[in-house]
Structure 1
Amino acid sequence: MENRIERIKKQLHSSSYKLTPQREATVRVLLEHEEDHLSAEDVYLLVKEKSPEIGLATVYRTLELLTELKIVDKINFGDGVSRYDLRKEGAAHFHHHLVCIDCGSVAEIEEDLLEDVEAIVESGWNFKIKDHRLTFHGICEKCQQEDRADENE
């Protein structure tokens, strides 16, 4: 984790920002809960456990700065809540998500499934793509199994 924090510190410095203690506390929470897709409020509550002096507005500002610098991605799964996801180091694009419409679970797809689509869009529409997001909404394996079990009763 310390190596990742040091690299994030360098990213901030290269954009003329410092890794203040408040920003570091926020980054640490994001790293510790990397798989959780936390909302700003979730991040704030976890930061507050470790550093009670840090306010909600500071956490919001930090998350917006980290989003602007492409250290984190701000995502919405259609439930009206913005969530924050650390961008994988060295990733050219945002990773894809599978959202279960029954239980709300979120799974990630790390591989880039849209390289061919990007090439078609860039050449066919003369459009330079900088990033993309892909979210599939459906029923996860666990919920499908539960549905089948219910049907067999």
Structure 2
Amino acid sequence: MTTSSPSPPDYEALLRTAGVRITRPRRTILKILGEAGDHPDALEIFRRASVIDPSISLSTVYRTMRLLEEKGAIHRHAFGGGPSRFEQADQGHHDHLIDIDTGAVVEFRSDRIEALQDEIARELGYDIVFHRLELYARKRRQA
């Protein structure tokens, strides 16, 4: 089951309240991130933003992503030890399946998996505070 995509957060307002100046390059980066339907890494965000504004630097992308992560607006993932990839933090809990051949990331939520994790933690004498589930998979070949 795939999660639905909510409207993008107001990254500009968040950064302004943190005292960060919203420059034209930063506004372009925020637009790209807000419209991303995938889990882009910093280089991909840079590539997309450079199409709109060739003056954008990769260091501005990294600084902006760091600020957004510090403010809790985005989550950073390093799927399989690869480059850090980002997603909006306000999407609600979900897990990820990563296609090891293409790098595609599929979001899903399973009540059965959530219940099983809770059951296992309880049996071991724990309450889950936080968890992250990543499944690494390969597409089945059609017979």
| TM-score, scaled to structure 1 | 0.69
Deviation at 1:126, TM superposition (A): 7.6
Distance 1:63 1:118, change over 3 A: farther
* Correspondence for 2:84: 82
- CA drift of 1:125 comes to 4.9
| Aligned partners of 1:98 and 1:106 also within 8 Å | yes
Flag the 1:4–1:82 CA change in 2: closer, same or farther, 3 A: closer
Unaligned runs of 5+ in 2: 1-6
2:3 corresponding residue in structure 1: none
Q: Does 1:56 align with 2:58?
A: yes
The Cα shift of 1:87 comes to 2.1
Which stretches of structure 1, 4 residues or more, deviate above 6 A after TM superposition? none
Q: Does 1:148 align with 2:142?
A: yes
1:20 maps to 2:23: yes
Counterpart amino acid of 1:73? H
Name the structure with the higher helix share. Answer: 1
Q: What's the offset of the Cα at 1:44? A: 0.7
**Superposition RMSD in Å:** 2.9
* Cα gap change, 1:80 to 1:25, in 2 (>3 Å): same
Q: Is contact 2:45–2:61 with CA below 8 Å preserved after alignment? A: yes
CA separation in 1, counterparts of 2:20 and 2:87?
A: 20
Shift of 1:81: 1.5
> Where in structure 1 are there 5+ consecutive unaligned residues?
none
Task: Report what 2:35 is aligned to.
Answer: 32
Three-state SS of the structure 2 residue aligned to 1:23 is helix
The alpha carbon displacement at 1:79 in A equals 4.6
Letter of the 2:12 partner, please give it: K
Among 24, 40, 43, the alignment partner of 1:41 is: 43
Contact 2:118–2:127, Cα closer than 8 Å, also in 1: no
Q: 1:116 to 1:11 in 2, by over 3 A?
A: farther
